[in-house]
A = this chain, B = another copy of it.
Amino acid sequence: MAHNTYAIGLDFGTNSVRALVVEVQTGREVGTSVFPYPSGQAGILLDDRDPDLARQHPADYLQGLETSIREALADAARHEGFAPERVVGLGIDTTGSTPIPVDAEGQPLAFDPRFRDNLNAYVWLWKDHTSHAEAAEITAHARATRPAYLAKCGGTYSSEWFWSKLLHCARIDPEVFDAAYTWVEHADWMPAVLTGTEHPHRLKRGICAAGHKALYHPSWGGYPDAEFLRGLDERLVRVRATLPETTYNTAQAVGTLTPAWAERLGLPAGLPVAAGAFDAHLGAVGSGIAPGTLVKIIGTSTCDLMVAPLDQDLADIPGLCGIVPESVLPGQYGLEAGQSAVGDIFDWFVRTIRPAGMDHDALTAAAERLRPGESGLLALDWHNGNRTVLVDQRLTGLVLGLTLHTTPAELYRAFVEATAFGARVIMERYEAYGVPVERIVNCGGISAKNRMVMQIYADVMGRPLMISRSTQTCALGAAMSGAVVAGAGAGGHASFAEAIEAMTGVQETVFEPIPAHQRVYDRLFALYRRLHDAFGVEGVSDDLYDVMKTLLTIRDEARR
């Protein structure tokens, strides 16, 4: 034990931040702490007049950073052999694209008293969809002038992403936009804060956020060119000038912990801090991603990540959020797909619709007793738009098959099934474009907590589903990046491959598809796919007369 070392992962989620202290040699999680963001509604600043708006307060991040690390260290201190001075590295993941407008010193505008009451000066959370018009504009402009830009991000630029948000801010709040020297992704700001490199001229930005959300790609020399941005809005060119040529992957350190932070946190001064990345990407690392392995991170939304060797002749994959070199692992393309809402849909049903006073457990228990198809329901999981493969926020949820006997449990199960169908669309898209899915590892809260959901996913996808051993794969992956930037010589790991071998694994339980269920779900999926295309794909004409009737036939057969 005396030779064991530790790494810290900091995982900034949508509603809270978690710190995790992990043993580098084993992946054993020895200390953790979660800090819920105190501002707004569960950490999200909302506007009653605009359901698309979702902002955060950067002060929550700073408070959460300090509190969660100190508490996680205190938790770890109960373990024999642990000591803060044995921590060798620190890594960070966040949500994204979650850009923060900052001043010329790199300080968030939200801290400027002038903007205290202006939500546009706060953090623009990933799920903010106010910028859908600008996303459409960027997509159209790129389609006309830079088709290559779109080819790497699925054919459509999203309202959740960096340039949409900046352009929207420029249009609706020029005062904030002009006051912002530049915009920094949450994932880049946190490592900069800890290493004292927030100043825009010193700031190191990660390839993950840049590549997946800000149209950064080495093949065209980094961020989009000024002429392209000028075609959208002259003012974007000024921001472009603040962005660097070089970006960093999570095997690279952006600096070391400042003495001030070292003292505040009780950690060794000089501790290396890895470049930040998105939660899903480091979650995939914490789940042991490798070529052929699809990692599904199932939480409020999902990310469905794969990697493919940089030397593979990879086609552009329509509808994928991004194809970015080294955004997940060095030496590999990072491929990102995802569903805009999964757990969020179940939570909406439980918290907002509040059916019959049933919570998730009660609904799950009742839904688990239903046979596939017996409710006669079919839903589309688009309550928050569709990220993959349609890349369209202007879509909405649907449910059909309602009768006067439809129960809350049936609806709950229908929404679960809808997200499973959405997951299958993503898997099939990967495979159709030469990225075979040989193994599926799931992580995230829902995969750990809800066996019914996982069985339905296995049945719908027709594949065995594994569950990551860690229940905190994002924070674990972040800690692994800390171990990698520490390096083998300093008690860390020489590479992510080594870190994955030493620190990750899967649970014994594997969810195997049940053939009888698969047969029903194949029929339901065919109907789902038709509704998906009818409402989601331009120019598709379909005769849907048989849909309700086929659902009733399937229902009647299931009840027999």
Q: Could you list which residues of chain A lie within 8 angstroms of chain B, going by C-beta atoms?
A: 49-51, 341, 344-345, 348, 352-357, 376, 380, 382-384, 394-408, 411, 534-545, 547-549, 551-552, 559
Contacts and interface: CB of A to CB of B under 8 A. Distances in A.
Contacts of A534: 534, 543-545
Most B CB contacts (10 A, CB to CB) among A49, A408, A545, A547 go to A545
Most B CB contacts (10 A, CB to CB) among A400, A402, A548 go to A402
Nearest to A555: B51
Nearest to A344: B404
Contact of A403 (B51, B538, B544, B549): B51
A543 B541 contact: yes
Contacts of A408: 352-354
Contact of A348 (B49, B400, B406, B548): B406
A348 B407 CA distance: 9
Nearest to A353: B355
Given A396-B548, A548-B394, A559-B49, A404 B376 contact: no
Given A353-B356, A354-B357, A396 B384 contact: no
A249 B485 CA distance: 92
A226 to B, nearest CB: 32
A314 to B, nearest CB: 30
A319 B407 CA distance: 30
B405 A397 contact: no
28 contacts: A49-B559, A345-B404, A348-B405, A352-B408, A353-B406, A353-B407, A353-B411, A354-B357, A354-B408, A383-B402, A383-B406, A384-B404, A394-B548, A396-B401, A396-B402, A397-B400, A397-B403, A397-B406, A398-B398, A398-B401, A400-B535, A534-B544, A535-B544, A535-B548, A538-B545, A540-B545, A541-B542, A541-B543
Nearest to A340: B404
A539 B544 CA distance: 9
Contacts of A396: 376, 400-403, 548, 551-552
Contacts of A547: 535
Contact of A545 (B406, B411, B537): B537
A352 B539 CA distance: 38
Contacts of A376: 396
Contacts of A403: 51, 383-384, 396-397
Contacts of A402: 382-383, 396-399
Which 3 A-B residue pairings sit nearest by Cβ, starting from the closest? A397-B402, A398-B400, A354-B356
A187 to B, nearest CB: 24
Contacts of A394: 548-549, 552
A49 B406 CA distance: 14
A522 to B, nearest CB: 21
Contacts of A552: 394, 396
